[in-house]
Amino acid sequence: MKKVLITLAVAFIIITSAILFKNVYSCEMPIKNRGIRDAINTGDLDVLFIGSSTFRANVDMPMMDEAYDGRVYDISYGGNQLVATVIQYDEIRRRSPHDYGLIVFELGPMMLAQDVALSDSRVIWDLSLEGKQDLWISMYTAGNTDFPMLYEFFVTSGMDDLITFPVTEPFYSTRYYKGAKTDETVSPGKEWLENEEFDLSDKYLVEEQADAVANIINECKKDGQDFIFVESPCYYRLQDDPVFREYHEEFVRILDENGADYILASDVSFDTHDAALFEDMNHMSAEGRRVYTAELIKALKNR
């Protein structure tokens, strides 16, 4: 009996310590080339991108570096959500002593139709305990939580990365530069893009995501932070989809209603019919990334 109790007690102590370590200190791990900590360590920035994998794939950081003397960074996450974007913005403001000339948020129409959820375990890594709690409360308020999710959120998510950190970090860090992808991705070809199936018919507006857009705007205004929403061009089949257009209009309506500045996909010169520029429906190939970034730099500088 004594040995059983000791085993359970030791297990409890180790597990609790690991959970605490992950939740409290993961945001302090020396992660290179991506994430909030690395962005903060870069110092004052002229442009900070906060968005989803679309920004990560579509913005060419070496070109941005050149245009802004290296004072740029991108802290985008896979499938990032508008609800999480607010929390990431708060986190930056709370932890960073630096100035950010312009914060570029993503105008992703379909982000309005995403259930509030954890879309990328990197989010958990990068947020402080306070940020994690805020994100969990947002998910809970939206009614999208249960016990297994709580467990995944605070215990298992990101543990793989933590335990393998010394081995995997050198590999991961080569895949990014200032938070954006460095892969020389190529287009899968016109035939693939023309036949790729997608169905937006069952999408619905998620109120929490729509409210988050207004929250981002209000918080930036309150902080006196210059900001802009940017919509990346998608392959024409997606961009011209009636449901996509509907959400696009709704997003623009919210921005107009709250007096926010924005650059639409149609405001930049980019051929959405050119398959060579896309990796999939909404992520660009390396070629597309460079074409788009040149246009985006012009648009940002001309505003």
Partner 1 sequence: MSLISLPFLFFMICLLFAYYVAGEDQQWKVLLAASGFFYLWSNPVCIIFIIISIVSTFYLMRNPVKSHFIWTIVINLGLLILFKYSINFGIDNLIVPLGISFYTFMTIGYAHDCYDKRIRPSDNIWHYALFISYFPQLTQGPIGNYEEMHDQLIKYHPFDFQRIKTGGYRIIIGVFKKLVIAGRVGFYIDTVYSHPTGYSGLTLIVATLFYLIEMYADFSGYMDIVCGVSEMLGISLKENFKRPYFSKSIPEYWRRWHISLNEWFNKHLFMPSVTTKWNKKTANILSKVFPKAKKGTLRLIVPTLMVWIVTGIWHGARFSYLGWGIYFAIVMLISFCTQGYVKKFNAKIHWNPDNTFIKAFQIVRTLTLLSFGEIIYRSESFSDTVYIFKSIFTSTRINGASIAAAMTPFGNGNQAAASVIIIVILAIAQFVVELAKEKDEKAFTGHRYIYALLMIIVIALFGVAGKSNFMYQAF
Residue 8 DSSP symbol: H
Would you say the C-alpha torsion 112, 118, 124, 125 has a positive or negative sign? negative
| Shortest spacing between CB 130 and partner 1, in angstroms | 23
| Shortest spacing between CB 155 and partner 1, in angstroms | 7
Footprint on this chain of partner 1 (rule: CB under 8 A): 1, 3-4, 6-8, 10-11, 14-15, 18-19, 78, 120-122, 146-149, 151-152, 155-156, 159-161, 163-164, 167-168, 171-172, 175
| Whole-number Å distance between alpha carbons of 96 and 75 | 14
CA 89 to chain centre: 11
Residue 160 vs 257, nearer CB to partner 1: 160
Residue 6 vs 24, nearer CB to partner 1: 6
Residue 14 vs 137, nearer CB to partner 1: 14
| Whole-number Å distance between alpha carbons of 255 and 261 | 7
| Shortest spacing between CB 84 and partner 1, in angstroms | 16
Residue 15 vs 205, nearer CB to partner 1: 15
Residue 157 vs 209, nearer CB to partner 1: 157
CA 202 to chain centre: 24
| Shortest spacing between CB 24 and partner 1, in angstroms | 15
Would you say the C-alpha torsion 235, 293, 279, 173 has a positive or negative sign? negative
How long, in residues, is the chain?
303
φ, ψ for residue 216, nearest 5 deg:
-60, -50
**Could you tell me if 276 and 187 are in contact, meaning their C-beta atoms sit under 8 angstroms apart?**
yes
Residue 1 vs 199, nearer CB to partner 1: 1
| Shortest spacing between CB 183 and partner 1, in angstroms | 8
Q: Strand order of the sheet with strand 262-263?
A: 72-74, 45-50, 100-106, 227-230, 262-263
| Shortest spacing between CB 22 and partner 1, in angstroms | 9
Residue 147 vs 204, nearer CB to partner 1: 147
| Whole-number Å distance between alpha carbons of 275 and 191 | 9
| Whole-number Å distance between alpha carbons of 174 and 27 | 20
| Shortest spacing between CB 225 and partner 1, in angstroms | 29
Residue 122 vs 132, nearer CB to partner 1: 122
| Shortest spacing between CB 127 and partner 1, in angstroms | 16
Question: What count of other Cβ atoms lies within 10 Å of the Cβ of residue 154?
Answer: 16
Determine which helix (DSSP H) or strand (DSSP E) holds 230, and give its type and residue range: strand 227-230
